Amino acid sequence: MAAKLAKQCFGLIVGNRGFFPDELAREGHEFMSGLLKKLGHGVVALTPKDTKFGSVETWDDAKKCAELFKKNREKIDGVIVTLPNFGDERGVADTLKMAGLGVPVLIHAWDDDAKKMTIKHRRDSFCGKMSACNNLVQYGIDFSLTSRHTMDPTAPEFKDEIAWFAAVCRVVKGLRHCRVGALGARPAAFNTVRYSEKILEEYGISVETLDLSEVFGRAAKMADANAKVKEQLAKIKGYTATNGVPNEALLKMAKLAIVINDWMEKAELDITAVQCWTSMEEFYGVVPCTAMSMLSDQLRSSACEVDVCGAVGMHALALASGSPSFLLDWNNNYGSDPDKCVGFHCSNLPKSCFQHMKMDYQEIIAGSVGKQNAFGTVVGRIKAAPMTYLRPSTVDNEGIVAAYMGEGRFTDDPLDTFGGYGVAEIPDLQGLLEYICQNGFEHHVAVNHSRSARAVYEALENYLGWDVYLHEG
């Protein structure tokens, strides 16, 4: 499923400079504010009653705009600076410095028309953008650039640019205030998913823990005939085919889902990372995959093996794209093709990522805990589609969050196996695998059926301060 993306509220700064045509500033304000509203976004901007054409040029203009932004601090997700003429470089920088919003900033310069280069029409925004950026660098203010140095805002591709910047804002805001639920202890066999809560907290990501004993205890108190249990059971059966799955396992899954949902609501959690291997099966009697799959399908990403950093990666991709993310193992080579591999998990993948799916038992873990304790996994083939991948990790000895990311695609190449699986094609896959191994990244990777690398990279590297490698092949 693709969610309806939340619209952003943008602070709008229209730059102006007195000895350039004022009329251009008037046109710029009217068009840009109108475009943003037409696209469904909120706009906070000066009006012609506040300053000349609602633009920012002087120190007094900057003070008025900064005060307006501060009053709307809780609403503004990002700031768009548009330069319909050269613009006043200090006016833009002073406004942002005094407002102190700490949100993403997009710098946009208008195209000149080669047929209108007289003193009445020439914009010089091409040059003015450099001066504005120079001042922002001097002031220590982070900012983003459009894909081209100047862009015609009336062109269709400029709408894509606004959508890209909106995605950047969603990722920045979502991760700076992210709350992760870590359900259970890290499985002893998975040193790979160790992480630092303290480092994540430095970047605004908080972790709330819950012991599996509390989960099992809360579930045990629910009667099979409980109305909430019946309702959740119906949701599970409506979500995926359950033919051949014992009713006892379905009831356990329904109760588990209720416990997790109630915990997430009470603790105000955005995402979760859940212990599975093998306490859940031995002492509760199901794998938690279907409950986790349903959460991820609702954009409440859920990662297994208490892979908190993996869940954060899933969340970043979902924030950017508005579509569900999933966690995979980089698992197998695909024949002799150096740029293809098999992505696999047991699995808890969201429904929307599959060509087809059903509930079944987890074949790997059943060998040690018994088939009767391993029902609840969601299995099927991942559909062929473009994809973006991301792996964050805390680097404890450096006190940072590092990540790698890039784009590729899932193919329809033939493959017959179990679990949740697909064939992925990545440009220069061998170079990527070498980077993963040499830098000690985990075998887990967050994946999303979208092309959102540009937005996610901009958010993580430029605004959140992560150390990100963008693999472009």
Q: What is the pLDDT of residues 15-60, one digit of tens each?
A: 998 666 778 999 999 999 999 999 999 999 999 999 999 999 999 9
Whether the Cβ atoms of residue 380 and residue 407 lie closer than 8 Å to each other: no
Looking at residue 114, its pLDDT comes to 82
Q: What is the pLDDT of residues 257-288, one digit of tens each?
A: 999 999 999 999 999 999 998 999 999 999 99
Question: What does pLDDT average to over the chain?
Answer: 96
Judged against a pLDDT cut of 60, whether residue 2 lies above it is answered with: no
How far is residue 456 from each of residues 188, 464, 466, measured CA to CA in Å? Answer: 32, 10, 11
Looking at residue 394, its pLDDT comes to 98
Residue 37: Cβ within 10 Å count: 11
Whether the Cβ atoms of residue 317 and residue 445 lie closer than 8 Å to each other: no
CATH 3.40.50.10940 location in the chain: 9-175
d(CA 357, CA 307): 24
CATH 3.40.275.10 location in the chain: 177-471
9-175 carries CATH number 3.40.50.10940: yes
Looking at residue 19, its pLDDT comes to 65
Overall average pLDDT of the 314-339 stretch: 98
d(CA 36, CA 258): 40
How far is residue 473 from each of residues 233, 425, 434, measured CA to CA in Å? Answer: 46, 11, 12
d(CA 302, CA 274): 7
d(CA 157, CA 374): 49
Q: What is the pLDDT of residues 104-152, one digit of tens each?
A: 999 999 999 887 777 667 788 999 999 999 999 999 999 999 999 999 9
Judged against a pLDDT cut of 70, whether residue 161 lies above it is answered with: yes
Q: What is the pLDDT of residues 177-230, one digit of tens each?
A: 999 999 999 998 899 999 999 999 999 999 999 999 999 999 999 999 999 999
Looking at residue 21, its pLDDT comes to 73
d(CA 90, CA 364): 63
Q: What is the pLDDT of residues 241-257, one digit of tens each?
A: 999 999 999 999 999 99
Looking at residue 117, its pLDDT comes to 73
d(CA 209, CA 202): 18
Judged against a pLDDT cut of 60, whether residue 1 lies above it is answered with: no
Quote the tokens at residue 141. Answer: 């203010």
pTM of the model: 0.96
Looking at residue 123, its pLDDT comes to 86
CATH number for the region 177-471 comes to: 3.40.275.10
